[in-house]
Structure 1
């Protein structure tokens, strides 16, 4: 599961919002699919640039994650590296493309867990639920000093 970071949480929420507002979505397009839309938000590249980078190597996001090399200078690997630096793990790319991370799905009532990976509304629901999960994990790590730690004048 992704490392909970404010950058990733914000990117997930902004991507879900963009999709809800009608940003281009096309599951079969490497720059306009589930991962492609999140990549746009994290990297500030447009969907055509992302697609062009991905087409320099074979495969969908699942295969791109499998073939990822951190020392490669291939544009798609540099792009994936930016996404990993924001808190994602390679497995998250695979799960996002299929909307099948168990931890995220468990946040939905049983009858709502059967999301379709290529349906815009399901992608929006999944990204928002994932952002909520990561936010909860991030907040668990934050400890504020107790009031006893302050000296009062």
Structure 2
């Protein structure tokens, strides 16, 4: 699962907003699919640029993620690398394209989960919303733990005279 952080959460939320506002969505288009829409937000590349990068090799997002090599020099790999810098993992991207992350799916009631369609805009938006909420909860939990650690360390400091 992605490393929760405000930049990634905000990018997912902007992707949700873009999709809700009618951003281009086409599951079979490398720049306008599930990963493509998030990639636009994280990398600032256009859907056409992302698609052009992807067409330099074979396969959809999942196949290209399997072949990902951070030192290949392929534009697609450089773009994926940029996405990973935001705390994502290859598995996160693969799951996003298929709406299949077990941690996210476990938060969705069975009836809705069983009807999720990887290439339906509304389902992608819903999945992204659940994911953003999960990441926010984890990030806030980590902040609470850090606050506790800092408080404990302050209590253990010798009194200054």
Partner of residue 121, structure 2: 120
Q: Are 2:49 and 1:81 equivalent residues in the alignment? A: no
Cα deviations by residue, 1:56-97 (Å, 9 ceiling, x for unpaired): 000000011001001121100100001000011001111000
TM (norm. structure 2) is 0.89
Larger radius of gyration: 2
Q: Are 2:32 and 1:65 equivalent residues in the alignment? A: no
Task: Classify 1:148/1:102 alpha carbon distance in 2 versus 1 (closer, same or farther; 3 Å).
Answer: closer
Partner of residue 36, structure 1: 36
Q: How many residues align?
A: 151
Identify the range of structure 1 (1-10 vs 61-70) with the bigger mean alpha-carbon deviation. Answer: 1-10
| Equivalent runs, 1:1-153 vs 2, <5 Å | 1-114=1-114, 115-142=116-143, 143-144=146-147, 145-146=150-151, 149=154
TM (norm. structure 1) is 0.93
Q: Normalized per residue, which structure has more helix?
A: 2
Q: Distance in 2 between matches of 1:85 and 1:148?
A: 31
Over aligned residue pairs, what C-alpha RMSD do you find?
1.6
- Gapped regions of structure 1 (runs ≥ 5): none
Q: Distance in 2 between matches of 1:33 and 1:105?
A: 19
- 1:113 counterpart SS class: helix
Structure 1's consecutive aligned runs of 4 or more residues displaced over 6 angstroms after TM superposition are: none
Q: Distance in 2 between matches of 1:137 and 1:43?
A: 24
